[in-house]
Amino acid sequence: MKRGLKLIGALSLATMLLYGCNNAGTSTSTGESTSKEVKQGDLNVAFVYTDSVINKYDYFKTKSEELTEKGKKFEGDLQGRASGFQQEVQNFQQSGGNMTVNQQRAKQEELSKKEQNLMTYRDNLMQELSADEAALYSEVYDKVQEYLKTYAEGNDLDLILSYTRGGAVWYANDAIDLTESVIEGINKAFTAAPADTAK
């Protein structure tokens, strides 16, 4: 999960810049006069602590718990299969002396294939969980970005920055910190639309 959070933080600033470019491109292509020339002193800027918004977003917490449960289920299944394989190996070690050379060779090949299948199964489970995690972060990121766009339009903001430690923003006045307001608003939106959870 931490790897995903770092990914979200790293992508946040780039997306905000891209979002700004997209807005500029849209207003130019439509020919509308909605994009007015903004002087530096007129720019309304605010920021949010990205990690806080993600971690306190109820939708993210709900889906993360579901993903954790899925991981535990996979782990239990894998441990069960591994225990069965280990037991089979022990049985062969104990009774292998009573087998012919050909029987021993055949059993060793069988166990080798089972071990390879077990490793493949483990890798597939890990890939599935990793894909689910990536999909979750992508979905959450899209939802947060969509909400911030609405929030910015409703509060006459020109730019909302992502504040993460080690990121591009080194200092920001607490007066323009929207984190708590955004967390409250995005969770209200999530609660008001429970159908999204099922999706």
In a domain, 70, yes or no: yes
The mean pLDDT of the chain is 81
The tens digit of pLDDT for each residue in 29-88 reads 333 434 445 455 678 999 999 999 999 999 999 999 999 999 999 999 999 999 999 999
Residue by residue, what is the 3-state secondary structure of the chain? CHHHHHHHHHHHHHHHHHHHHHHHHHHHHHCCCCCCCCCHHHCCEEEEEHHHHHHCCHHHHHHHHHHHHHHHHHHHHHHHHHHHHHHHHHHHHHHHHHCCHHHHHHHHHHHHHHHHHHHHHHHHHHHHHHHHHHHHHHHHHHHHHHHHHHHHHHCCCCEEEEECCCCCCCCCCHHHECHHHHHHHHHHHHHHCCHHHHC
In a domain, 28, yes or no: no
In a domain, 43, yes or no: yes
The tens digit of pLDDT for each residue in 86-100 reads 999 999 888 888 888
The answer to whether 189 touches 151, Cβ cutoff 8 Å, is: no
Find the angle CA(125)-CA(120)-CA(112) to the nearest 5 degrees: 145
Q: Count up the domains in the chain and report the number.
A: 1
In a domain, 27, yes or no: no
Q: In CATH, what number is assigned to the domain containing residue 147?
A: 3.30.910.20
The answer to whether 50 touches 166, Cβ cutoff 8 Å, is: no
Q: Which domain holds residue 84?
A: 2-19+38-198
In a domain, 33, yes or no: no
Question: Of 3-7, 9-13, 159-163, which one has max mean pLDDT?
Answer: 159-163
Return the pLDDT at 173.
87
In a domain, 29, yes or no: no
Instruction: Check pLDDT > 80 for residue 152.
Output: yes
In a domain, 149, yes or no: yes
